[in-house]
Chains A and B, each alone.
Chain A
Amino acid sequence: MEQKKQTYQPRTLETQLPFSWKRLFFQWEWMLLLILVAVLLFGSYVSPYFLNYPSLRDGTMVFLDKALIVFPMAMIMIMRDIDISVGSTVALSSVVMASLYTTAGLPMEIAIVACLVTGAVCGLINGLLIVKFKELSAVIVTLGTMILYRGIAYIILEDQAAGGFPEWFGFFGWGYVFGIPFLLIVFAALAIVFGILLHRTTFGRKVFAIGNNPTASRFSGVRVDRIKVIVFMLAGLLAAITAIFLTSRMGSTRPNIATMYELDIIAMAALGGVSTAGGKGRVVGVVIAVFIIGYLQYGLGLINMPSQLFLIIVGALLILSVAIPKIGSLMKRK
C-alpha cells in the first residue's frame, strides 16, 4: 500500500550535494525535453503547417493564457495543498470586468483593476479559509469556493454573454511586441519572476520547507499561515490576469468560460515534476511541461482531431507523470 510511513528520512537539499555528471543527466527535465521534441516531431509529421517559426510562435497564444496560473499552482502543490477553484476564479473575474464595463458603464481601465482585485480577493478568501480552518483540507475549501465563485458569475451574467470591449483591449489577446506575442512575453517574464521567487529567495525556501515538513517549519519560525495566504492570493491574482488575456482573445465572456482549467493546470504542474506529495518541483520543468501539453493541443487542433482525444491524452499524461516515479520506486523495493 501507499508509503505514507511517517519515518524520519533526512533529506539533503539538491544544492548541497556535490556536483556529479550522473545527476545532471538523470533529471526529470531532460526527460521532459525529450517528450517535447517528440511532440514537435509528431506535430510536423501530422501537419506540414506545424513546425515553422510563425506557427509555433502564434500557437502559444492558444494555450499560454491558462499556463500563467501554473506557477502559483506549482507553489501550492509544493506546499501539499491544491486549488481547484482557479477556473471559477477566472470566470468570476472576467464576468465582473465585463459587466462593470458594459452594464455599469465604467471605463475599461477601472474594469481591469476590478478584475485583478476580484481575483486576488477570491484567492485571499481561499487562503484565509484554509489557514483558519486547518481541519478542512484545501480540497474541500476550494471545492466549495469553486461552486460558489462560478455561482456568483452566473448570478451576475445569467446565461448572457458580455462583450463589445474597446479596440485597444484586444491587444492583450492578439498583440505583438517586437514581433513576439505579448502573452508570450508576459509568460516568460512571469517564469523568470517565479523562478527567482521560488529558487533564489528565502520566501521560496520557506515554501519548500512547508512542503517538506509543515510542523517543523512552524517551529523553526516560518510563518506558515502568512505564506500560504500569500500564495493562494497569488493564484487568484494570476487567475485574474488569465481572465484578462482570455477575455481579450475571445472578445466576449460568459459565466461558463474556463471550465475545467484547474485540471489542465494541475496536469501541467504534475507533468513538470511538481510532486503531489509536496516539497519537490522546479519552474524549469513546469515551463517545459506547459509547452508539451500546449503544442500537443495545438498540433491536434491543426489536424482537426476531436478535442475529446486531447482530454484522454492529458489524463493519460497526468497519470503517467505521477505514476512513473512511483513504479520506479516500487521496482527498487522488490
Chain B
Amino acid sequence: METKEAHAENPKKNMLTLFYQFRELGLLFFIILLCIGVQIRNPSFLTGENILDLATNTSILVILSLGMMIVLITRGIDLSIGAVIALSGMLTAQLVAANPSINPLLCLLFGTVIGAVCGMVIGLLIARVGLLPIIATLALMNIFRGLTFLVSDGEWVSSYQMSDGFVALAGGSFLGINHLIWIAVFFCLVFFYFLNYTRTGRQIYAVGSNPQSAAVSGIKQGRVLLLVYTIMGGLSGLCGVLWVSKFASAQGDTASGYELTVIAACILGGVSIAGGSGKLAGVLLGAILLGILNNALPLLNVSPFWQNGIQGFIILLAVIVNAIVKRRVDRTHLLRRAG
C-alpha cells in the first residue's frame, strides 16, 4: 500500500519502482524470453498441442498454488499438502475400486471433503492451540503420509481398477480443452473475486499484514486462519482425486515433495513469506513458469537429473533478486520522504 501512495505523490517515475510495482510484468517478460529461447532450440515447443499439454500439466499446480497463496498471506505455510493429496487420492481410488458405478462427481466431492477435514485439523492446531504452522504441518505431513500407507497396506490402486468415468475426470475434455484446465480457470476466477471483492478475502490480507491491528479492528483471526487452512486442505483433496484420475494410479508416495513445488510457484509469483502480500496474477505466472520449465527441459534434452537443481537455483535467484529490488525501492522512498 505504501509504495503506491508514495508513487502517486511523486510524478517523477523511477524505473525500479515501476518494475517493483509491476513485477508481474517482469515475470511475464522473463517467461516470454524463456519461450522464445526454447522455441529457437526446439520448434515443437510453441505448437497448439504442446501448449494445451503444458496447460493441462500445470493446472493442478495452479489450483494448489492458489490455496498456498492465501496460507502464505496469513504468514503461515503448509507442508502437508503432498500427503493430503496422497491420502485423499488413495481413499477415493479405493472407493472407486470398490464401487465402479459411482458417479465421478461424487468422487470429487468425497476427496474434497477428506482434504477439508485434514485441513481443518491443521487449522485447529494452528488457530486454537497456537502451534507454529511449519511445525504443525510438518508433523501432520508425517501422519497423513503414514495413514495413506496404512489404509493402502502398501498396495497400489492401478488403472484397471478404475472406472472409465473416473479416469475421464482428468482425461476428458470439454470444447477441445481438458477438464483440468477448465477447473483451474474456474478456481482462478473464484479466487480473484474472493480475494479482491469479499470481506473475508480482505480480512485474509489484513491478518497477514498486521495481526495486531487486525485483532484490534475486530477481525476474528482464529476463524480466518481456520478457514484458510480448510480451503487449502479442500483444494489438496480435490487435486488428490484429479491427480489419481490423471495418472490412473494411486500410490503411497503420490505427490511426495510436491508441496515444495507449490511453495516455489508462490514465491516466484511474489508472495511474501512474511505475509500480507501476494497477487493472484503473480502466482499464476509463477506456476506457469515452473510448468514451462518442466515442459521445456525435456524438449531441450536436459537430463531429468538436472531439473531439481535448476528449480532450486531459480527459486533462490528469484527470492534474492526480489529482496534486492525491494530494498532499493524502499531506500528511494525513504530518501524521497526525507527530501
Contact = CB atoms under 8 A, between A and B. Distances in A.
**Does chain A bind chain B?**
yes
Interface in B108-138: 125-127, 129-132, 134-136, 138
A277 B146 contact: no
Given A1-B225, A270-B135, A315-B140, A143 B263 contact: yes
Contact of A135 (B125, B132, B149, B323): B323
Interface stretch (A51-59, A66-74, A165-173, A323-331): A323-331
A135 B274 contact: yes
A314 B142 contact: yes
Contact of B316 (A145, A267, A310, A327): A145
Interface stretch (B162-170, B174-182, B305-313): B305-313
A318 B135 CA distance: 8
B267 interface: yes
Contact of B134 (A82, A133, A141, A144): A82
A1 B222 contact: yes
A263 B138 contact: yes
Which secondary structure dominates chain A's binding surface? Answer: helix
B98 to A, nearest CB: 22
B263 A308 contact: no
Nearest to A6: B212
Interface stretch (A8-16, A153-161, A214-222): A153-161
Given A137-B273, A143-B260, A146-B260, A266 B307 contact: no
B309 A277 contact: no
Contact of B273 (A136, A154, A306, A330): A136
A129 interface: yes
A3 B130 contact: yes
A326 B130 contact: yes
A312 interface: yes
Contacts of B215: 1
A79 to B, nearest CB: 14
A313 B172 CA distance: 40
B127 A149 contact: no
Contacts of B273: 136-137, 139-140
B150 A308 contact: yes
B154 A306 contact: yes
Contacts of A5: 212
A129 B317 CA distance: 11
B28 interface: no
A276 interface: yes
B145 interface: yes
Interface residues of A, number: 51
A309 interface: yes
A144 B145 contact: no
Nearest to A77: B135
Given A145-B312, A311-B143, A140 B319 contact: yes
Contacts of B306: 151, 154-155
Contacts of B77: 139
B260 A139 contact: no
A180 interface: no
A22 B87 CA distance: 46
Nearest to B138: A263
A228 interface: no
B141 interface: yes
A139 B134 contact: yes
Contacts of A133: 319-320, 323
A327 B129 contact: yes
Contacts of A330: 129-130
Contacts of A303: none
Interface in A102-161: 129, 133, 135-137, 139-141, 143-152, 154-155, 158-159
Chain A CB count within 10 A is highest, among B130, B264, B267, for B130
Closest CB pairs A-B (n = 3): A151-B309, A148-B312, A151-B308
Given A136-B319, A155-B305, A311-B149, 11 more contacts: A1-B215, A3-B130, A133-B320, A141-B316, A144-B264, A158-B303, A310-B146, A312-B146, A312-B147, A322-B132, A323-B125
